[in-house]
Structure 1
Amino acid sequence: MFATPAFAQAAGASASPVAALGQFLPLILIFVIVYFLMIRPQQKKAKDHRAMVETLRRGDKVVTQGGIVGKVSKVLEDGEVKVEIAQGVEVNVIKTTIVQVLSKTEPATSAK
Structure 2
Amino acid sequence: MEQLFLPLLLMLVVAIPLVMGTRKQKRAAQEQQKLQSSLSEGDRVMTTSGLYGTVADTTSDTTIDIEIAPGVVTTWLRQAVREKVAPEVADEIDNDSDDDTVDTETVAEPVETPKAEADEKPGPQIAPPLEHEKK
Instruction: Tell me the residue number matched to 1:109.
Output: none
Match of 1:40 among 1, 23, 26: 23
User: Which ranges of 4 or more aligned residues in structure 1 deviate by more than 2 Å?
Assistant: 18-21
Higher helix share: 1
1:61 aligns with 2:48: no
What is the rounded CA distance, in whole Å, between the counterparts of 2:64 and 2:54 in structure 1? Answer: 10
Structure 2 SS opposite 1:62: strand
What are the residue-to-residue correspondences of 1:1-112 with 2, within 5 Å?
Answer: 18-19=1-2, 21-22=4-5, 23-36=7-20, 38-103=21-86
Number of corresponding residues: 86
Q: Deviations over 1:72-109 (max 9, x none)?
A: 011032411111000100000110010011148xxxxx
Percent of matched pairs sharing the same residue: 22
TM-score if structure 1 supplies the norm length? 0.68
What is the rounded CA distance, in whole Å, between the counterparts of 2:3 and 2:31 in structure 1? Answer: 41
Structure 1 SS opposite 2:53: strand
Structure 2 SS opposite 1:92: strand
CA shift for structure 1 position 66: 1.3
What residue identity is the alignment partner of 1:45? Answer: A
Instruction: Tell me the residue number matched to 1:108.
Output: none
Cα gap change, 1:76/1:20 in structure 2, threshold over 3 Å: closer, same or farther? Answer: farther
Gaps of at least 5 residues in structure 1 are: 1-17, 105-112
CA shift for structure 1 position 65: 1.1
Q: Deviations over 1:2-59 (max 9, x none)?
A: xxxxxxxxxxxxxxxx4464222321332013322x2211111111011000110010
What residue identity is the alignment partner of 2:27? Answer: K
Higher strand share: 1
Gaps of at least 5 residues in structure 2 are: 88-135
